[in-house]
Structure 1
Amino acid sequence: MSLLRALLAVPVSLMLLALTPAASPAPSAPAAQPTDTLLPSLVAQGGAPAAALLAKEQSGGGTRYAEAGPGIARADHFRAGSITKTFIAAVVLQLASEHRLKLSDTVEQHLPGLVRGAGNDGRGLTLRALLTHTSGLSDFTTDTRGLVPLTPVQAVRIALTHPPAGPGRYSYSNTNYVLLGMVIQQVTGDSYATEAERRIIAPLRLTGTSFPGSRTSLPSPHGRAYTTDGSDITGLDPRVAGAAGELVSTLADLDRFYAALLGGRLLSPYWLHEMTDTRTAHGLYGMGLFPVKLPCGTTVWGHNGRIAGSYVRTAATVGGRRVLTFRVNTTWIADPDLEPALLATEFCPRTS
């Protein structure tokens, strides 16, 4: 199995109007790209009711939107799933840059006595291990299937009924980021949501992005969300994922966030380098980001997000100069080859 397809298998585990004076000619929309023609395949072959994408290029390429299928729109709010992890990781690294914690700190130092059981021991687990998914902690959503609302402590306790994976081995686990959310609160006195809003959402003016807590409804406007069997699951308690996947956002906001993050607006060069250093996870994952090397040799950075009724993927070039976010309003894309094909078509140079 390829790296990209392996990452796609992990469980949980968006519109600005430009107004011009009446006397000025309206700007022409960017020409459709081959990526846009692939979008209907997410519906026809991928089994999604609808799909949408928003691409942005800083060097004169402008912004491009495309959609396929009914009931989806550019300004929709949707659940972003594990893209939440990139926000959480950025907050933790900001706290590290402020010397309020160290990545070498153990979980025990911040959450004493919490991580004990079935061979798991927080005294030997560092924050770096949580950020890079090398802690070995079991993924609580394997037990809950991402459908049971839990407190953070409940989620951790479920994970601790299972023995850890091999020490230092990359093993994607939502439990890691639930713990990081708890660490943020312990260090700052505020919830991870409050810290992310203050440090990221407000400065970047991500007006469509929020941490809903226990609110089961989506902000307006929004479409519907469906499970793979067609059941409507638009109303969902975000506590099924918490700090590992609670986020609600929009296509435009996610493009703006990843462009700003990879462009160095949220972290200094040193800490951005830390975030994109994949050595701890053996080349598979940084900290809240993972790389994908495309067939043409271009590497893109970003994350995917899956939660019941929603799948979203954001990818950006180094420096954030070019970014793409696409989404479907269902949990899974039936054909796993569609996503890598879409990324390659978007980011690899086109020849005439």
Structure 2
Amino acid sequence: MRKALIVAVAAMFLTTGVAQASTSGLQRDLDAVRDSGAVGVQARVVSPGKESAGSSGTSVLGRNVPVSVDGHFRIGSDTKTFAATVLLQLVAQGRLSLDDSVEKWLPGLVRGNGYDGNLIKVRNLLQHTSGIYDYPHAVELEMATEAGFRKHRFKRMAPEKVVELSVAHPPVFAPGAKWEYSNVNYIIAGMIIEKVTGRSWRAEVRDRIIVPLGLRNTTLPGDFPFLPRPHAEGYTLTGTGAFRSTEVSLGWGGAAAEIVSTTKDLGAFWRALLGGKLLPPAQLAEMKTTVPLGPADAYGLGVIRHVTNCGVVTWFHNGGTPGFITGGAVTEDGRTSVITSLSNDGEIKAQGAAMTRLVDNAICRQG
């Protein structure tokens, strides 16, 4: 989820084994992320014939416990790319169109208080141009405090209720008029997957992506709040300190934020996606059709286009949840990926900048 992060930080290859980062440029960049105030960080870089992984910081605040390079973490809004991929696969199969309205598939769901579901298209959902108010973001803001985290950490809520609480607020803008990140767009997208297929979005992601790619450490936990081991503890940083935020239920965030993965699995997914192994060329081109976010970034259909500091065009979708921030990049040909996980969220401006430098540097070193 983590709306501010998205805006601000904007097993496909044979390898010769995983090289530990040691004193390499990757390790120096990992240490720089740690020195910027991160509790713990891990990263993995995969390119043809080569794979390296490293970590820095600690898994447990106040103790010297190394961060595992195979640790599980919540990928947050990177979940959106999985959901967008499934929807675009359904488009390729002729089972729906990006120009179908929300009203066509979910009659009455987005209606009243200035909303008309006939005017909001599937494309608007995937590209965050729907104008629907983002109720989940209001909850995120509360969870940045320890009291708010404890209030919402085991939240249970049906997707219909999340949408209801969102449309209780007037639209932010008319559909298609501009861009603004809204988690509820992907909660609705998950509901459309279910309506089109007759199966949950989780089942479709599992059977269309996770199983075919052999992503054995990628899970869809629903309301289950615990991470598989190994994992670093997650922490939320505040202006006055930090609190532990490892266990949290994000099933109510659904297709916007739920998935748990590892740097190895997530990199395999992204290389497969950009390498054309999950979508036909026409749908991959649709996914990469963007609206601008800033001088170096643009948003497509569940993907962010980012130009590195050495001019290489990459794609990814950053993610954030209580306790974890996910960053990364994959080259346009799908041959090189960089995946990072920071085991804290909250006050992360400096760490976010350091993590972006790590990603850019790793991509540029491969070139």
TM-score bucket of the superposed structures, by smaller chain: 0.7 to 0.9
Residue 215 of structure 2 corresponds to 206
- The code of the aligned residue for 1:251 comes to T
TM-score (norm 2): 0.84
Counterpart mapping for 1:218-229 below 5 A: 218-228=227-237, 229=241
SS in 2 for 1:66: strand
Residue 48 of structure 1 corresponds to 38
Q: Deviations over 1:88-125 (max 9, x none)?
A: 00000001111111111000001000101321221110
Q: 1:44 to 1:271 in 2, by over 3 A?
A: same
Query: Contact between 2:328 and 2:359, CA under 8 Å: does it hold in 1?
Result: no
More moved, 280-289 vs 232-241: 280-289
Q: How many angstroms does 1:226 deviate by?
A: 1.1
Structure-2 separation of matches of 1:32 and 1:255: 23
Residue 34 of structure 1 corresponds to 25
Q: 1:328 to 1:29 in 2, by over 3 A?
A: closer
Residue 52 of structure 2 corresponds to 64
More moved, 65-74 vs 190-199: 65-74
Residue 23 of structure 1 corresponds to none
Unaligned runs of 5+ in 2: 60-66, 144-148
Q: How many angstroms does 1:337 deviate by?
A: 2.4
Query: Contact between 1:133 and 1:281, CA under 8 Å: does it hold in 2?
Result: no
- Answering whether residue 286 of structure 2 is matched by residue 274 of structure 1, we say yes
- Answering whether residue 121 of structure 2 is matched by residue 112 of structure 1, we say no
Unaligned runs of 5+ in 1: 21-25
Residue 164 of structure 1 corresponds to 171
Residue 357 of structure 2 corresponds to 341
Residue 345 of structure 2 corresponds to 331
TM-score (norm 1): 0.88
SS in 2 for 1:203: helix
- Answering whether residue 276 of structure 2 is matched by residue 260 of structure 1, we say no
Residue 136 of structure 1 corresponds to 131
Q: 1:5 to 1:112 in 2, by over 3 A?
A: closer
Q: 1:27 to 1:248 in 2, by over 3 A?
A: closer
More moved, 249-258 vs 34-43: 34-43
How many matched pairs? 333
- The code of the aligned residue for 1:8 comes to A
- The code of the aligned residue for 1:77 comes to H
SS in 1 for 2:69: coil
Moved over 6 A (4+): 280-283
Q: Which one of 170, 179, 189 corresponds to residue 180 of structure 1?
A: 189
Query: Contact between 1:134 and 1:281, CA under 8 Å: does it hold in 2?
Result: no
Q: Which one of 295, 298, 303 corresponds to residue 284 of structure 1?
A: 298
Query: Contact between 1:170 and 1:284, CA under 8 Å: does it hold in 2?
Result: no
- The code of the aligned residue for 2:193 comes to I
Q: Which one of 239, 243, 246 corresponds to residue 231 of structure 1?
A: 243
- The code of the aligned residue for 1:56 comes to V
Structure-2 separation of matches of 1:30 and 1:6: 27
Residue 75 of structure 1 corresponds to 70
